[in-house]
Structure 1
Amino acid sequence: MEKLRGQMQVAVDAVVFTVENDVLKILLIERRNQPFQGRFALPGGFVNPDEEFEQAVKRELFEETGVKDIFVKQIGAYGKVSRDPRGRIISIAFLALISHDQNLKAATDAAKVKWAPLNDLPPLAFDHRQIISDSLEVLKFEIQTTNIAREILPEEFTLSNLQSLYENILQRKLDKRNFRKKIRELELVKETGKQFMEGAHRPAMLYEFRDKEYENLKERMHVLLS
């Protein structure tokens, strides 16, 4: 592809996380075109003149992966002069969480789309590995100070499901009793009155999030899992 000489372009990239079988994963596409043709990358693309950044990243996610109706949060801008061989391109990065059972469909600039384990990523295009690393640090903070976990869990879940999600994102084990005590004190979730039975195990109470919209909890807490 011809270099964009003398021009400054703005793009968006999405770091979409999920947890599948207790493994934290990232949504990647295989690039159909140059530069980095055939290499995996984050979903994203150029911002149209009449688009807000959030509109652009949601459009690119849908066009390249089929993912839609997704919560996104802007986390930063990446503008190193040498980050893109086509010319000066600044990327606005977004963080998102979705359930792993979303239907994926590669299209437009994406030859393939897949979930890749965070600890086993393939070689990536551009500076996308750095963007992922930075996004993980943002996610670790968000999971402790907001109710962003609701974006990845089903509507009803057990406290074990919730703790497993926190452990996968924070990449460390949490004390069961202390975790449940803090979750209840925070009033983050509430009982549904239903129970979940799996095999011969004791029935587990099902919970749901109290707030259905993204909420910053810092006014009610210091750090949930400090």
Structure 2
Amino acid sequence: MYKYAGEKGILVSIDCIIFGFDGWDLKLLLVQRSIEPQLHKWSLMGGFVKPDESPEDAANRVLEQRTGLKNVYMDQFQVFGKPDRDPVERVISIAYFALIDIHQYEKQLSDEYHAEWVLLDEIPELIFDHTEMVKLAKRQLRYKAALHPILFQLLPEKFTIPQLQALYEGVYQTKFDDRNFSRKLLSTGLLVKLPEKDKQSSKKGAFYYKLDQSNYQENFESFLNLVPNPDKFF
């Protein structure tokens, strides 16, 4: 078996930044670290890539082992490799962000790792460079959401326009004009209005909508104008 002379091994890890939406608030899924150093400190989902795994396979394995979640939307967005990022060994981390509907998965979370959903503006101090990972993941999420309707991954099958607006406002940390948002959203041709209403939020109620999967590929570019002045968020 050949080896590269004079080269030392470097560990490769996976870290998953998991965004979830509960209908009105955007949240981040965190766990308490189970090993030293910084035992019991708050951390992103993470684990090492095994010799026989691709990064994608490792990310899916880590996600399922640590949380019980599988078959969720994930996107690789950056590699973190500062020599001193891990105090134990030289570790390069491949970071992914994931998008899920909290209500669909809340009963699957593993109790072993004390996973908890935390509001984005209430995130505690995280280990190593995980705070930087979250910051860059939010930036990447905003960028991709301005180009494609990926935020539907965070929604249940049926939803209201106020819920979708709350989701966009949570992602971009800004307030959208109600009338303009609704008008632009309906003009995309990607929503199907349902006959039933959500009457829990108001007496009048808001109609439910669902994503029109048949027009998804054809009309997804219509979301380019949904976020006003997207460049200011990057």
- TM bin, normalised by shorter chain, reads 0.7 to 0.9
Counterpart of 2:184 in structure 1 is 182
Counterpart of 2:100 in structure 1 is 98
> 1:214 Cα deviation (Å)?
8.7
* CA displacement, residues 57-81 of structure 1 (integer Å, 9 cap, x when unaligned): 1110111112222110111110111
Counterpart of 1:56 in structure 2 is 58
CA distance 1:134–1:217, shift in 2 (3 Å): farther
Identity of aligned residues (%): 33
Aligned equivalents of 1:10, 1:216: Cα separation in 2: 39
Larger mean CA deviation between 200-209 and 210-219 belongs to 210-219
Counterpart of 1:192 in structure 2 is 194
> 1:215 Cα deviation (Å)?
6.1
Does the aligned pair in 2 maintain the 1:7–1:87 contact within 8 Å?
A: no
CA distance 1:188–1:142, shift in 2 (3 Å): farther
Which of 27, 30, 34 in structure 1 is aligned with 2:29? 27
Does the aligned pair in 1 maintain the 2:11–2:91 contact within 8 Å?
A: yes
Does the aligned pair in 2 maintain the 1:197–1:204 contact within 8 Å?
A: yes
Q: Which amino acid in structure 1 is aligned with residue 110 of structure 2? A: K
Q: Which amino acid in structure 2 is aligned with residue 117 of structure 1? A: L
* CA displacement, residues 49-100 of structure 1 (integer Å, 9 cap, x when unaligned): 2222122111101111122221101111101110011222111111111122
User: Any idea what SS the aligned residue of 1:174 has?
Assistant: coil
Counterpart of 2:48 in structure 1 is 46
* CA displacement, residues 180-222 of structure 1 (integer Å, 9 cap, x when unaligned): 1211222232213333333762242211112389969774454
CA distance 1:217–1:33, shift in 2 (3 Å): farther
Counterpart of 2:153 in structure 1 is 151
Listed as ranges, the matches of 1:103-122 within 5 Å are 103=107, 104-107=109-112, 110=113, 112-122=114-124
> 1:157 Cα deviation (Å)?
0.7
Structure 2 stretches of 5 or more lacking a match?
1-7, 229-234
Does the aligned pair in 1 maintain the 2:148–2:221 contact within 8 Å?
A: no
Q: Which amino acid in structure 2 is aligned with residue 69 of structure 1? A: N
Aligned equivalents of 2:128, 2:215: Cα separation in 1: 33
Listed as ranges, the matches of 1:196-211 within 5 Å are 196-198=198-200, 201-211=203-213
Query: TM-score, with normalisation over the residues of structure 1?
Result: 0.87
Counterpart of 1:65 in structure 2 is 67
Which of 135, 138, 144 in structure 2 is aligned with 1:136? 138
**Length, aligned pairs only:** 219
Structure 1 stretches of 5 or more lacking a match?
1-5
Counterpart of 1:16 in structure 2 is 18
Q: Which amino acid in structure 2 is aligned with residue 28 of structure 1? A: L
Does the aligned pair in 1 maintain the 2:16–2:45 contact within 8 Å?
A: yes
Does the aligned pair in 1 maintain the 2:189–2:215 contact within 8 Å?
A: no
Which is helix-richer, 1 or 2?
A: 2
